[in-house]
Amino acid sequence: MLLFQDILELITSEARKHIETVNEKDVIFDPTEHAHITIRLIRYQKENNFKPKMEAIKEDVEKMPFVKSIKFESGYLNINLDSSYLYRAISESIETTGTFPDSFQDPERVSVEHTSTNPTGPIHMGRIRNSIIGDSLSRLISRYGYRVVTQYYVNDSGKQMISLYLGYEKFHKGEPMTEEILLDGYRKIYEYLEKVGSEGEVENLMELYEKGDGDLISKVREIAQVMLDRIVEDMKALDIHMDEFTWESEFITTGETKEVVSRLSESLHDENGAKYIDVPDVRKIFLMRGNGTSLYLTRDIAYHMYKFSQYDRCIVVVGEDQKEHGKVMKYIMNDLLEYPNSLEYLFYGMVGLESGKMSTRKGTGVYARDVYKQLVEKAREEVIKRYKDGEDVDDISRKIAVSSLRFYMLKVSTSKPITFKWEDALDFNGETAPFIMYSYTRAGSILKKVTTSGKADFKDMKEEEEALLVEMYKYPYKIIEAYRNLKPEVLTNYLLVLSRKFMRFYENCNIMGEETNISNRRVEIVKMFMKIMKDASYLVGIEHVDRM
C-alpha cells in the first residue's frame, strides 16, 4: 500500500463531524477552476440547520495546516491549499524515503499473465497492446506494493501449432528453422488445406499430439521455441520482460488435464462420449472430446490450478473477444473448484486496421517490430534536425520509439478498441510520448544551467507554480485509481496533464535571473517534478532523456 498523507480523507472526516453523511465522493480535487479541493454540499443545502453546520465545517477545515483559504460558493466549500505545505510534504517524502509516495510491501503474491500469443509468427500490433498493457499493469501493481510475477502461457498445442508444424514438414523439411521459413510454410499449408479441402491430416496429428506422442510434441515445441524467441526479442525491444513461461504441452504430458476432468467429475455431463459442463447463462462447455482428448479450456484450467497454487491473486490480460472464456474460467475456478484465490481479467479492446482485421495467416497484420523500426527512424530524423552531433542519438531515438509505441497503446482506455494508423502512431506532436519526454528534458536543462544554494521562500508564488504543486500532490491518488480499476491509462492521462502544467510553469516562471529565494524554490519544484515524472513514466514505460 501507499504511504502518504491523504488530505482528502482528513478533510472528509473533519466535515463528517458536522454532517455525518458526507463521504469521500463529496470531497474531491476540483475538476473545474474554482478551487484546489472542493466539498460538495449541494445536496445538504435544503436540510435544517445547514448554514450553521456548513459554517462549523468551514471553521474546522480552515484550521487544517494545509488549508490556505476556504469559502462557500453556490453549494460548494471551496478550498485553496497552502502550496508551501504541499511543497514540504512532497520534498520531505523524497528526502526521507527517496520517493513520493512511499509504499509498504504487501505479502500477497500477484501473478499477471499477459501476451500469451500463439507462437505462430511475429507479434503484431494487436497483440503488442496486450504486452504493453500487461507490462504496465505489472509495474503499477508492483509500485502499489505487491510482489508481482509476469507470466506467459505458451500455446504450443492445438490446431494452429500443428498446422505450423505440418507446413514446415510439407514444404520446407530439412531447411533451417527460421522464422521466415516457418511463416512461409504456415501460409502455404493454409492455402493447401483450402485447396485440398482435407483437414484430416491436421486432425490426425492433433490426436497423436493429444495422446502424448513425445516425438511429435518435442518437434512442435522446437518450432514454437523459434517463434517464441523472436516474440520475446520484439517485446524486449519495448522493455517488456516476462518472468515465467509455462508450456501448454506440459499439462498434456504430465496428465494434469486428466486431473482436471476428475476434479470436475461431479459437474460433468456426457454427450456421445464427450464431456461438458453447463455454465449458467452461457451454454454447454466441452472439456473432453468424444475421442478422449482434451480441449484448450481443459489445459487452461490446469494452468490456472498451477497458478493458484503459487499466487493469491491472478490477473489475466486478454482481448475482449475472450470475455466469455473469462466468465467460464471464473465460474469453474471459483464456483466449481471452490478456489479462494482471486481471478481477475483485464479485457482490452481489439486493435483494428483501417482496412479491417489483422491476421498473421492472411498476412494482413502490422508487425510491432516494423512500427518500432519506423519510429526509431522518424525519431532519429527529428533528433538530427536539432542536434547534428552526439553519440547519444541512437539511444535517444530508441527511447523515443519505445515510449511512443507504448504510449500510443495506452493513451486510449484499454477497454476501447482502436484503429491503428501509421500517421497517428508516428506523430510526435500534441498528446504524445515526446510531449511528455520533452517536458522532462526542459526541466533537466534548467538544472544544468542553474546552481542553487541557500533557502527557498514562498512569497509571490505564481499560479502556475501552485497548479504544478497541486498536480504533483495528486500523484498517489492517481496510482490508487489506476491500481484499483486496473487502468494503467489513468497514468498516461496524468502524465499528459502533469507535463502540460509543467510547460505552463516553464513558460511563466523564470528561474535564471530571478531573485535567489524564488529561484531556489523553483529549482526545487523542478526537481520534484522530474522525480515524479520519472516514477510515473516508468509505470507506463515512457523513458526519459537528457536532451532531445
Backbone phi, then psi, for 509, in 5-degree steps?
-115, 100
Contact flag: residue 163 with RNA (CB under 7 A): no
Provide the mask over 480-519, with x wherever binding to RNA is found by CB under 7 A and - wherever it is not. -x--xx---xx--x--x---x--xx-xx-xxxxx------
Residue 254 corresponds to which amino acid?
Answer: T
Q: How many CB atoms lie within 10 A of CB 350?
A: 15
Sequence-distant (6+) residues with CB within 8 A of 260 are 287, 294, 298, 301, 302, 305
Q: Which stretch binds RNA (CB under 7 A): 228-236, 238-246, 260-268, 438-446?
A: 438-446
Question: Counting contacts by CB under 7 A, is residue 450 touching RNA?
Answer: yes
Assigned C-alpha cell, 137: 499493469
CB of 547 to RNA, least distance (A): 3
40 forms part of the interface with RNA (CB under 7 A): yes
CB nearer to RNA: give 175 or 515. 515
Decide whether 321 or 460 has the Cβ nearer to RNA: 321
**Span 268-327, contacts to RNA by CB under 7 A:** 271-274, 283-284, 286, 289-291, 295-297, 320-325
Query: Among residues 265, 429, 451, 453, which is the contact residue for RNA, using CB under 7 A?
Result: 429
Q: Specify the residue, 40 or 172, whose C-beta has the smaller distance to RNA.
A: 40
Query: Dihedral (C-alpha) 430, 434, 440, 443: value to the nearest 10 degrees?
Result: -70
Which listed residue (25, 173, 388, 455) binds RNA by CB under 7 A?
Answer: 25
User: SS3 string of 243-303?
Assistant: CEEEEHHHHHHCCHHHHHHHHCHHHCEEECCEEEEECCCCCEEEEECCCCCECHHHHHHHH
- HSE value, Cβ hemisphere, 13 Å, CA-based, for 270: 5
Closer residue to RNA, CB minimum distance, 16 or 289 = 289
Query: Which ranges of 322-421 does DSSP label H, i.e. alpha helix?
Result: 323-330, 368-386, 393-410
> Shortest gap between Cβ of 188 and RNA (angstroms)?
19
1 binds RNA (CB under 7 A): no
Among 191, 229, 233, 546, contact with RNA (rule: CB under 7 A) = 546
Between the alpha carbon of residue 500 and those of residues 44, 418, 430, 435, 438, the distances in Å are 36, 25, 10, 9, 11
Please answer whether residues 285 and 328 qualify as being in contact, where contact means their C-beta atoms are separated by less than 8 angstroms.
yes
Kindly state the helix (H) or strand (E) to which residue 130 belongs, with its residue range: helix 125-144
12 interacts with RNA by CB under 7 A: no
CB of 298 to RNA, least distance (A): 8
Tell me how many residues contact RNA (CB under 7 A).
95
Contacts 24+ apart (CB under 8 A), 192-197: 193/163
Residues 85-144 touching RNA, rule: CB under 7 A, are 118
Residue 479: its H or E element: helix 475-484
Q: In the bound complex, what is the minimum distance in angstroms from residue 380's beta carbon to RNA?
A: 9
Placement of cell 489475466 in the chain: 316
394 binds RNA (CB under 7 A): no
- Please state the separation of Cα 123 from the chain's center in Å: 18
Helix, strand, coil content of the chain in percent (nearest 5): 55, 15, 30
Q: Does 435 bind RNA (CB under 7 A)?
A: yes
Residue range at the interface with RNA (CB under 7 A); choices 5-13, 25-33, 304-312, 465-473: 25-33
Does residue 101 have a cis bond before it (omega within 30 degrees)?
yes
**Least distance (Å) from RNA to the CB of residue 175?**
26
430 near RNA (CB under 7 A): yes
- Minimum CB distance to RNA, residue 450 (Å): 6
Q: Near RNA by CB under 7 A, which window of 94-102, 228-236, 442-450, 533-541?
A: 442-450
**CB-wise, 93 or 325, nearer to RNA?**
325
Q: Does 532 bind RNA (CB under 7 A)?
A: no
